[in-house]
Each structure stands twice: as C-alpha cells, then as structure tokens.
Amino acid sequence: MADVTKKKKAKKKDYSATVNSKLMRKPLKRVFPVFVLPMVCAFIIGFVYPFCQGVYLSFCKFTTTSNAKLVGFENYVKAFKDSGFMHAFWYTALYAVVSVVLINVLAFTAAYALTQNIKGTNFFRTILFMPNLIGGIVLGYIWSMIFDGILSHFGTSILLETKYGFWGLIILMCWQQVGYMMIIYIAGLQAIPGDILEAADIDGASKWQTLWKVTIPNVMPSITICMFLTLTNAFKLFDQNLALTAGRPFETTVNADGILETVKTTEMLALNIYNTFYGQSMSARGTGQAKAVIFFILVAVISVLQLRSSKSKEVQQ
C-alpha cells in the first residue's frame, strides 16, 4: 500500500530534466568546454558552415568556392528549366509512391504473420533483416548482375530500358528495406496490450475486423514512422541508383530552343544533383547548388508534413 502511494506521489511531482540546484549547476556550467565544445566544433565544420555556405552559393556563379559571384535567382530559374532535373523529380516521385506502398504493405504483412506464434519466427526475422546491412553500392552490383543474368536470355539488359531500371530498383529496395520496416512493425504489434485484443475476441469480432478496427489503429505510430522513413529514403536514394543503372538508358531530345538535350531516364534527384556538380561542365555548379537547396526544401517539407498528418491520426493512449 505504502509503495503504491509513493509511486503516485513521484508521478504527481512536476518532474523536470533540468538541473536547478546550485550545487550542481555551477560546476556543470564550468565544464562546457570539455563536454560540448568538441561536438559543437565538429558540428560547425561538418554541418553548420557547409550548410550556410551552400545556401549562399546557390545564389552565385562559381566553379570553386573562392571565385563565387552573386547572380541572384538565376541558378534557380536554370534549375527549373533543366529538363533532366524535372524528369528526375517526377521519376523520383513515382518511385517514391510505388516503393512506399509496396514496402509498407509487404513489411506489415510479414510482421503480422511473424507475430502469430509460428515456428521459426526468430530465424525468419534474422533472414529478412539481413540485406539491410549490405551497403547500397554492393547491393546495386549484386542485383545488376542478377537482372542482367535474367534479361540476357531475352537479348536485353537492365541498362537498355527505363522500365527495367525502374522495377529493378523497386525490387532491390524491397529486398533491402522490408526487413527493416518489419522490425519496426513487429515492435509496434507487440506493444499492443493483449486485453484489447481479448476484448475484441469476446465481443465476437472476426479476425479481419480485429485487424482493421483494433490492430491497425493501435500500430498507427509505427505506420507513421515507417511511411516517413521509406518516403525520405526514397527521395534521398543515391548509392543504389548509381550502382544499378547510373541513369541509363540516356535519351536525347531536341528542346524548345533547338538545342540537343540528354535526359538520363533512370536518374533520381540525388544522382542528378551529383552529376550536375561533378559532371563535365564545372560552370553548372551554381545550378547544382540551387538544385540541392530545392531538394533540401522538398525533403524537409515532406518530413514535417508527414509527421503532422500522421500524428493527428494516432490513437491516444
């Protein structure tokens, strides 16, 4: 009895993580250089300074950081006029939609099946998660060999047709990510209190009803996280794209001004930005940086939007 009241009191106490007592706060503040400074210095070198300079350079014409000249919004205009960039944008968006749906459905199904107390669950989890630890470049080459092995029987190659490149990438990413998302879904499914499921069972709900009305609303936080992760992963995808097709096949078209333009048909946003920077012409670097800023805003907006919209759907617990 005494124990219970104690616990309640502890809970009621307005608990804060901040140190207020003088005994600790003063000596703690004195060690700022030891505790925080190394991280902050590295953070400035590795993030803050490059980020600010990146934003600045997106308004400049430059080949290296030392010869930058302000040109206003010219780079952004050029970026939006670049047909390769726009193609990469729509291609990435299409890829994102397909991969988010496919990966999440497969991962949830696998997680649901593997929480039904079947034999060998742990073994299956181990196997399904394994591809996740292999790096993107290696994965890309493993699968390009496999796809080419299959397609060579039909006298073609993954590098020759856009649709092969697209579905090849989808298969690759499913193979890599389903296990990861499954682990998150399993954690969510196991956190559902058993008495809720029991109550549904007693009330005569069928398995299908229980799944839709009880299980899924209760794993909404996991669904949020997984959707968010797969979507940002899809937009940030680089290594696999580079290793699997590197944008091939290329398509040459004549644009409105009568200039020949090469569009890399399986090139995604991240790879397009990379190619603009380190491709043949150094003069396009300003455009590349502008593309990078647009890309960053896109990813940031998606992250914020998705977190907000999914949070409102979560069940209050």
Partner 1 sequence: MADKKIKKSAKKAKTSLTVVFSIISVVYILPIIVVLINSFKENSYVKTETFKLPTAESFVQWANYIKGMTFGNYPFFKSVLYTTVITLLSSFLILLCCSMAAWFLARVNNTICKVIYYLCVFSMVVPFQMVMFTLAKTADTLKLNTPWTIPIIYLGFGAGLAVFMFTGFIKSIPLEIEEAAAIDGCGPIRTYFSVVLPMLKPTLISVGILEIMWIWNDYLLPYLVLDINEYMTIPIHIQYLQGSYGAVDLGAIMALIIFSIIPVIVFYLTCQKHIIKGVAAGAVKG
Mark out the alpha helices in the chain (DSSP H runs): 2-12, 22-30, 32-35, 37-43, 49-57, 74-81, 83-114, 121-129, 136-151, 162-190, 194-202, 207-210, 216-218, 220-236, 239-244, 269-278, 285-313
Shortest distance, position 98 Cβ to partner 1, whole Å:
20
Token readout for 223 is 């669904």
- The candidate with the shortest Cα–Cα distance to 18, out of 10, 29, 9, 7, is 29
> Residue 1 contacts by C-beta under 8 Å, 6 or more apart in sequence?
none
- Does residue 239 touch partner 1 according to CB under 8 A? yes
What residues between 90 and 109 interact with partner 1 by CB under 8 A? none
Token readout for 99 is 């991969």
> Residue 263 contacts by C-beta under 8 Å, 6 or more apart in sequence?
83, 84, 87, 250, 251, 252, 253
Shortest distance, position 77 Cβ to partner 1, whole Å:
19
Judged by CB under 8 A, the stretch of 78-86, 184-192, 198-206, 210-218 that binds partner 1 is 184-192
Shortest distance, position 312 Cβ to partner 1, whole Å:
19
Shortest distance, position 131 Cβ to partner 1, whole Å:
7
Q: How many CB atoms lie within 10 A of CB 200?
A: 18
Judged by CB under 8 A, the stretch of 16-24, 94-102, 161-169, 192-200 that binds partner 1 is 16-24
Shortest distance, position 142 Cβ to partner 1, whole Å:
5
- Does residue 273 touch partner 1 according to CB under 8 A? yes
- With respect to partner 1, which residue has the nearer C-beta, 36 or 196? 36
Shortest distance, position 187 Cβ to partner 1, whole Å:
4
- With respect to partner 1, which residue has the nearer C-beta, 255 or 297? 297
- Does residue 227 touch partner 1 according to CB under 8 A? no
- Does residue 243 touch partner 1 according to CB under 8 A? yes
Query: Taking a C-beta distance cutoff of 8 angstroms, is the pair 196, 213 a contact?
Result: no
- Does residue 250 touch partner 1 according to CB under 8 A? no
In angstroms, the CA 305 to CA 133 distance is 29
What residues between 116 and 175 interact with partner 1 by CB under 8 A? 116-120, 123-138, 141-143, 145-146, 148-150, 152, 175
- With respect to partner 1, which residue has the nearer C-beta, 35 or 255? 35
